[in-house]
Homo-oligomer: A and B are copies of this chain.
Amino acid sequence: LKKKREAKNPDVRISLPVVCFVWQIAMIILFGVFVRYDEESDAHWSEHKREKNITSDIENDFYYRYPSFQDVHVMIFVGFGFLMTFLKRYSFGGVGFNFLIAAFGLQWALLMQGWFHALDPADGQIKIGIENIINADFCVAGCLIAYGALLGKVSPVQLMVLTLFGIPLFAVEEYIILHVLHVRDAGGSMVIHTFGAYYGLTISWILYRPKLDQSKRLNGSGYHSDVFAMIGTLFLWMFWPSFNSAISDHGDGQHRAAINTYLALASSVLTTFAISSLSAKRGKLDMVHIQNATLAGGVAMGTAAEFMITPYGSLIVGFCCGIISTFGYLVITPFMEKYMKIQDTCGVHNLHAMPGVLGAVVGAITAATASESVYGHEGLVNTFDFKGKYAERTPATQGGFQAAGLCVALAFGIVGGAIVGFILRLPVWGDPSDDNCFDDEVYWEVPEDEESIPPILEYNSHMVGKYADRM
């Protein structure tokens, strides 16, 4: 056993520091060349204010968006991070690697998204402000979703590579969807969730481990790790209204996006509990469903949150998503693992892929059926940004473009995932062996704590092997 484990060498002592150092230095150089403050975060703001007749500092976009930014930030680091602590012995890896790749990803995203969206034509530099850092967090979310499918099966170096390629893929995909197709997707049902989920699932498919059941003993939750995961769930659930409203239009746009998301999420909770209870002996609830499927309503409102989908429309979307997502955990994930060779640790297919696609479809339909009687003329123009060269676009056309956006997200996720998957199969990244997955021992100094100190004086071959390692 020991020998075979060495066949895959999960030693990252050289590779991880090199990757971190080189990429961080690259970030510094690229930021040095390209990134500056925008007019609202630059010390020239007081002059800018006077030029533009802005009467008050409160009009700085910072005050419109900073509270939402912080909520999104909590979702990225505590939300995604703690949601991935549910495995009984992979909590360090769940929250720790999430932290690492998000911290790298947000820098890289500021650059990549900056080149596509925020380049100042006057001097060729990227001007950053509050909206850019929200978008960087969004971009990172795509990679963290992909991590969910791979949790416990990859090395931190592989995750850094996944992020290195994932961010530019995201930025190009986003550029095509939002700018070329002029699609609305403020909360990213397509851009973030669909892309991220298929990116991760495709990678997982390529990295398929036929003997993963050798790690079965650790591929499950513990009582306390399930409670830790609920921290992640709840912060995601509570702050999702901020996620979907963070970059939507000032005023009614942000207001409506928050309310719609709030309602969809509430509705998801009830149907998740219902299906979870219905599916088990004596109606016992499953924490996996509660931790994940309750969030599906937020994912599915990513596109339509800022539209006039109506409060009951939001409830219906959440209703359906709670059912679909829980059903996914019960039926589709096992099916995919058995017949399609896709091992999806966190069930991102159920939480992000299906609700993301549904959200895109809902968005397309809601856009296609928009009318001046519902939105008002100005409201319609503002909501769909029918301005400039898009001034003549009709809601029906917009609906078609929305649907096209979904295809772009799917294509980027699957094709990008396939390419990156093959790169990650190279035997140089220090990934764990099949009998060593879902185990923090591989990449972390794990404390021998009271609880885990094995009762010596008994022959326990598993334990002996395990603790011998540490000495």
Min CB distance, A34 to chain B, in Å? 9
A331 touches B (CB below 8 Å): no
Task: Give chain A's interface residue range (CB within 8 Å of chain B).
Answer: 35 or more
Contact of A49 among B46, B100, B251 (CB under 8 A): B251
Given contacts A227-B91, A380-B43, contact A311 B31 (CB under 8 A): yes
Complex alpha-carbon distance, A275 and B14, angstroms: 10
Chain A, residues 428-468, CB within 8 Å of chain B (1/0): the string is 00100000000001011111111111111111111111110
Q: Which residue of chain B is the closest to A262 with respect to CB atoms?
A: B133
Complex alpha-carbon distance, A277 and B11, angstroms: 10
**Segment 270-285 of A: residues with Cβ below 8 Å from B:** 270-271, 273-275, 277-278, 280-285
A201 touches B (CB below 8 Å): no
The stretch of A52-60, A192-200, A332-340, A387-395 in contact with B is: A52-60
Q: Report yes or no: A319 in contact with B70, Cβ–Cβ below 8 A.
A: no
Complex alpha-carbon distance, A14 and B273, angstroms: 12
Contact of A16 among B78, B239, B277, B375 (CB under 8 A): B277
**Segment 225-261 of A: residues with Cβ below 8 Å from B:** 225-228, 230-231, 234-235, 237-239, 241-242, 250-252, 254-256, 258-259
Q: Report yes or no: A441 in contact with B469, Cβ–Cβ below 8 A.
A: yes
Given contacts A66-B67, A227-B92, contact A252 B40 (CB under 8 A): yes
Q: Report yes or no: A457 in contact with B458, Cβ–Cβ below 8 A.
A: yes
Min CB distance, A176 to chain B, in Å? 27
Q: Report yes or no: A449 in contact with B107, Cβ–Cβ below 8 A.
A: no
Q: Which residue of chain B is the closest to A471 with respect to CB atoms?
A: B448
A459: chain B residues at CB < 8 Å are: 456-457
Complex alpha-carbon distance, A273 and B28, angstroms: 17
Q: Report yes or no: B456 in contact with A20, Cβ–Cβ below 8 A.
A: no
A73: chain B residues at CB < 8 Å are: 238
**Segment 75-119 of A: residues with Cβ below 8 Å from B:** 77-78, 81-82, 85, 88-89, 91-92, 95-96, 99-100, 103-104, 106-107, 110
Contact of A71 among B44, B70, B107, B382 (CB under 8 A): B70
Q: Report yes or no: B259 in contact with A223, Cβ–Cβ below 8 A.
A: no
Q: Report yes or no: B128 in contact with A259, Cβ–Cβ below 8 A.
A: yes
Contact of A443 among B66, B88, B284, B465 (CB under 8 A): B284
A47 touches B (CB below 8 Å): yes
Q: Report yes or no: A460 in contact with B470, Cβ–Cβ below 8 A.
A: no
Q: Which residue of chain B is the closest to A266 with respect to CB atoms?
A: B103
Q: Report yes or no: B11 in contact with A282, Cβ–Cβ below 8 A.
A: yes
Complex alpha-carbon distance, A10 and B283, angstroms: 9
Given contacts A266-B107, A443-B283, contact A60 B316 (CB under 8 A): no
Complex alpha-carbon distance, A354 and B217, angstroms: 43
Given contacts A311-B37, A447-B223, contact A375 B43 (CB under 8 A): yes
Complex alpha-carbon distance, A132 and B466, angstroms: 46
A124: chain B residues at CB < 8 Å are: none
Given contacts A99-B294, A228-B227, A447-B88, contact A270 B20 (CB under 8 A): yes
Closest 5 CB pairs of A and B: A222-B449, A43-B379, A13-B283, A45-B252, A103-B269
Given contacts A57-B64, A95-B227, A224-B449, 19 further A-B contacts (CB under 8 A): A13-B280, A17-B274, A28-B316, A29-B312, A37-B311, A43-B252, A43-B383, A49-B251, A60-B252, A78-B234, A78-B235, A99-B234, A99-B294, A107-B315, A223-B447, A448-B467, A450-B452, A452-B467, A457-B458
Instruction: Please list 14 pairs of residues, one from A and one from B, whose beta carbons are closer than 8 Å in the complex, sorted by A's number.
Output: A13-B281, A17-B275, A20-B274, A28-B319, A29-B312, A43-B252, A43-B308, A62-B251, A99-B237, A221-B447, A454-B467, A455-B456, A456-B458, A456-B463
